[in-house]
Structure 1
């Protein structure tokens, strides 16, 4: 029997499965004018609403009926939602889409691979020594390793990133821009987009003692974590026993470690930590301060003027409406303890596997990117911070839909960090990796998200 949606406080949250569907290509309807780059524009909101509604139609199918699903994406240029499906779509799905009024607004297109096949390829490609890469029939990157991989949004193959530092100069030039190739996995070859890039890193600060930075948490070094970590608090969830817990990143907090806030006073203890998905949650057993279901928003921490996001016992900011569905080409904002509120970025790939530098393999993440000219989305010290869809209002008003928590960053420089004078070596990036909310809650055994708006 298909697992039911988890119970929520005053709202429902979607599970982590991202599967959407709709009409045939010939049934697409014209969209009204408007910029899809503006978060509250009618076209942006309409596309997002269609995608979420179609997701619900797919979620209503049985597991057997969903076997052909490959991927879902919002297409901002065509101003429609596209679903890629291998083989024949279920008649039940078509009827449900018509009933929901989506029959002429969402396209269904054929894909050569289903999601199960693509995820298996991604997980195999990320393992050392298991992927052989070819461009133009010639093997490349023999001395390198795949540091990131994800299914393509159109279901046609996968995308892989290889460690640029380990490539010979000739191959580095070949992969300086994304190139079409193939990945050989045992006896199987799958089309692949191959890019050389930096090894992603987790977005914590190790062995550092910054001043009060707002919503950052400090986890002291132990026998299982040799260095102290400075990270960010995420969303408040309900554990299996009905108690409130705060989410953060697993690379920041191992089970049993103590957690303190900015001034160093002890706050609680890590209850659950899962390194495979890079999520954790901790309690407030060392304080009388209750967890508050809001997101801190505003400018970055600044050592010069002492600006903070929120303090240990007072939290103001937008309330939480519920958990959001992660859909490629929709938008997301980030709130990091040291970078402040940044965004919006665009979700450009989901179900990503990463080989983190100095950490381990983590799968099931999604990638959020912002035009580098607009500045960073997050940086070191922001791990575990909330990622969300913002609905109206300024920095301290409006509401947000929870999308996930920050895991790591790709590339970046110290010069990209907002108000970085307090520690000039901190690195920030416009490309970040996020643990999606639904999968994070499932992994942690959380049965609900605290809803405050």
Structure 2
């Protein structure tokens, strides 16, 4: 798998009581197999994704990972740079190009108008999602609100008004999810205390182009002026750059590393090395290592399959725990979401924001890269 983002300068020595393990050991045989099978697919998808990132072409709709191939959904003709990227991607994995009825740009425009409707009439729903295939918009509405026939009539009316199909699904609202004694240099997956109160999890140790070092976590975990410490009340830092709608925040600090806790709590110092960051794709299988879930399960929550990218001011990603387990718990907020790298380490994919049952809402690392210009510290 290609590692994205420039590497930081230098590295810190391992703390002697920490045990570095592989993601495959922790994820379980089934989840590890799924992530390993997807590596060539992700590598192929990355080639196309970066071509789109550079060109910002209007015809782009989405990229999805399927069982043994990549699907590129596109409306209209492929630009020459995308055709070039597609040829290169096909050297890594099978890629099919699917004609999309609507582009991502068109769907985002329709979504913005739909969100205005939701604010005026919350009974219509609470969250707008965009499927990777460009088939239309999906609105999540609270369970039990309105009859199915009424929902169908509303969807038909919305399609006529917005110009794109709208499908309603009945889902509750996800709740925000806000290791015990990490020490300098600060790592990912560790307990964060805000003004003395345990409330969140560190995501990843990152740095920017100027060499400044930060702990990446969720913006809803604190406000400017708050004092962050570890579980033993050792000072980490105070909130710095933040993007509240995207729910990402940087805590400036003296030193971080690319270690990430993945074991349980109460002295379990197991973890992995984070080898870099990468984009997220529909159909991809991931893990998350929030502090509270680690205390319950003794390790990470894996087999999280990416389902949708939201299209609102938050731009979150939705995943589902495919065994029906709790995807995250209170206190997991800001914690790392990641995939397994071929070398046994982890690839940063994002940070936890909220969850409901087996559903997980997280912010992808690519958004933090765009917002702050940061990458994994190595």
TM-score greater than 0.5 by the shorter chain = yes
SS in 1 for 2:289: strand
Deviation for aligned residue 1:297: 0.8
Change over 3 Å in CA distance of 1:96–1:446 after alignment to 2: closer
Partner of 2:301: 342
SS of 2:361's partner is strand
Sort the Cα spacing of 1:351 and 1:126 in 2 relative to 1 into closer, same or farther, 3 A: same
Pairing partner for 1:49 from 28, 35, 40: 40
Identify the residue that residue 60 of structure 1 maps to in structure 2.
Answer: 51
Instruction: Specify the alignment match of 1:251 in structure 2.
Output: 220
Other-structure match for 2:340: 390
Partner SS state of residue 158, structure 2: strand
Question: What SS does the corresponding residue of 2:334 show, helix, strand or coil?
Answer: coil
Q: 1:188 aligns with which of 145, 157, 162?
A: 162
Distance 1:321 1:182, change over 3 A: farther
User: Are 1:436 and 2:364 counterparts?
Assistant: yes
Quick one: which of 187, 191, 194 aligns to 1:219? 194
**Aligned partners of 2:125 and 2:140 also within 8 Å:** yes
> RMSD of the TM alignment (CA)?
3.3
Alignment of 1:132-171 (within 5 A): 144-164=123-143, 167-168=145-146, 170-171=147-148
Task: Report the alpha carbon displacement of residue 188 of structure 1 after superposing the two structures with TM.
Answer: 2.3
Q: 1:297 aligns with which of 242, 262, 270?
A: 262
Matches of 2:218 and 2:49, distance apart in 1: 30
Residues 28-177 of structure 1 correspond to what in structure 2 (within 5 A)? 38-41=30-33, 45=36, 47-60=38-51, 66-76=57-67, 79-102=68-91, 105-127=94-116, 129=118, 144-164=123-143, 167-168=145-146, 170-171=147-148
Q: Tell me, which stretches of 5 or more residues in structure 2 are unaligned?
A: 10-28, 183-188, 295-299
Take 1:188 and 1:352, find their aligned partners in 2: how far apart are those partners? 15
C-alpha distance in 2 between matches for 1:103 and 1:235: 29
What is the rounded CA distance, in whole Å, between the counterparts of 1:179 and 1:309 in structure 2? Answer: 54
SS of 1:435's partner is strand
Structure 1 residues 52 and 180: alpha-carbon distance in aligned structure 2, compared to 1, 3 A threshold: farther
Alignment partner of 1:231 is 2:200: yes
Distance 2:322 2:218 in 1: 25
Gaps of 5+ in 1: 11-36, 132-141, 205-209, 222-227, 302-306, 311-315, 354-361, 411-428
1:399 aligned residue = 345
Q: Deviations over 1:384-439 (max 9, x none)?
A: 0000002368xxxx3000000000112xxxxxxxxxxxxxxxxxx32111110011
User: Which whole-Å deviations, capped at 9, do the CAs of 1:207-232 have from their partners, x for residues lacking one?
Assistant: xxx987982112139xxxxxx66010
Residue 332 of structure 1 deviates from its aligned partner by: 0.5
2:233 is aligned, of 251, 264, 270, to 264
Q: 1 or 2, which has the higher helix percentage?
A: 2
Per the normalisation by structure 1, the TM-score is 0.68
Change (3 A) 1:381 1:148: same
| C-alpha distance 256-44 of structure 1, shift in aligned 2 (>3 A) | closer
How far apart are the structure 2 equivalents of 1:400 and 1:437? 13
2:281 paired residue number = 327
Q: Which has the higher contact order (CA 8 A, sep 6+)?
A: 2
Q: 2:64 touches 2:71 (CA, 8 Å); kept in 1?
A: yes
Q: Cα offset for 1:372?
A: 4.7
